[in-house]
Chain A
Amino acid sequence: EIVLTQSPGTLSLSLGERATLSCRASQSVISSYLAWYQQKPGQAPRLLIYGASSRATGIPDRFSGSGSGRNFILTISRLEPEDSAVYYCQQYGSIPYTFGQGTKLEIK
């Protein structure tokens, strides 16, 4: 089973700043099959990024993903109030599918 470790656990930034969220895998993720999801309180997760770097339909270009192998990054440029949420990475290259423990992003 691939273990995903996200850092930091909590990130507190100001409006307009850039957020960098990390996801490290215990072993290489096949074909960069790595997705990122955003979850707001009381809501289901929403797909942001798939294939490590492809934006899902309707996701603003402020969100970008990068990385390969064991190390992946989600970058959110120009933070807006609605970006306050918990962000999860997930690998879908091997079963069992696994999620990271999440990074909570707070907007000051």
Chain B
Amino acid sequence: QVTLRESGPALVRPTQTLTLTCTFSGFSLSTNRMRVSWIRQPPGKALEWLARIDWDDDKFYSTSLRTRLTISKDTSKNQVVLTMTNMDPVDTATYYCARMGAPTQYFDYWGQGTPVTVSS
């Protein structure tokens, strides 16, 4: 079955860089038109899409955050990595990775999320 799991630090200091890893199973990111996205949710607030990476290594980013985000994949390890630079307390949120199953672009499977707090 399809599973995704996010991992990374629970606490990050302001101005630091956050690195999150999504480890998945049950599908391959080398499959034609398979995609994985990152989405975040501040406490008590709505969901916000951050970035997407495709089977062919195409990458797409949130307009407001594109200068701070980098998404990459390691197909052999079934992992997708998101880095976010210059972290700020407003970036405190639960970060989710989600699959966008080929050929669709909605989020059909989600990880359980990893909470990240930005504080000095």
**Max chain A C-beta neighbours (<10 A), residue from B46, B48, B96, B104:** B46
- Per-residue interface assignment for chain B, residues 27 to 52, with 1 indicating a CB less than 8 Å from any chain A CB and 0 otherwise: 00000000001000000001111001
Which of chain A's residues 22-66 have a Cβ closer than 8 Å to chain B? 33, 35, 37, 43-47, 50, 56
Roughly how many angstroms separate A67 CA and B110 CA in the complex, as a whole number?
25
Roughly how many angstroms separate A88 CA and B46 CA in the complex, as a whole number?
8
Given the contacts A35-B106, A35-B107, A44-B112, A96 and B46 also touching, CB distance less than 8 Å: no
A100 to chain B, nearest CB (A): 7
Interface size class of B (residues with CB under 8 A): 20 to 34
Q: Are B107 and A98 in contact (CB under 8 A)?
A: no
Nearest to A101 among chain B residues (CB) is B46
Decide yes or no whether A72 CB sits under 8 A from chain B. Answer: no
Measured between beta carbons, the chain B residues less than 8 angstroms from A96 are 49, 60-63
Roughly how many angstroms separate A44 CA and B61 CA in the complex, as a whole number?
21
Instruction: Pick the contact of A88: B37, B47, B113 (CB < 8 A).
Output: B47
What is the interface of chain A mostly: helix, strand, loop, or mixed? loop
Q: Are A97 and B37 in contact (CB under 8 A)?
A: yes
Nearest to A47 among chain B residues (CB) is B108
Nearest to B51 among chain A residues (CB) is A96
Q: Are A1 and B63 in contact (CB under 8 A)?
A: yes
Nearest to B47 among chain A residues (CB) is A99
A71 to chain B, nearest CB (A): 19
Given the contacts A1-B63, A97-B37, A47 and B107 also touching, CB distance less than 8 Å: yes
Which of chain A's residues 65-108 have a Cβ closer than 8 Å to chain B? 88, 90, 92, 95-102
Can you report 30 A-B residue pairs in the complex whose CB atoms are below 8 A from each other? A33-B106, A35-B106, A35-B107, A37-B47, A37-B107, A43-B112, A44-B110, A44-B113, A45-B110, A46-B110, A47-B108, A50-B104, A50-B106, A56-B108, A88-B46, A88-B47, A90-B47, A90-B107, A92-B100, A95-B52, A95-B60, A96-B49, A96-B63, A97-B37, A98-B49, A99-B46, A99-B47, A99-B48, A100-B46, A101-B46
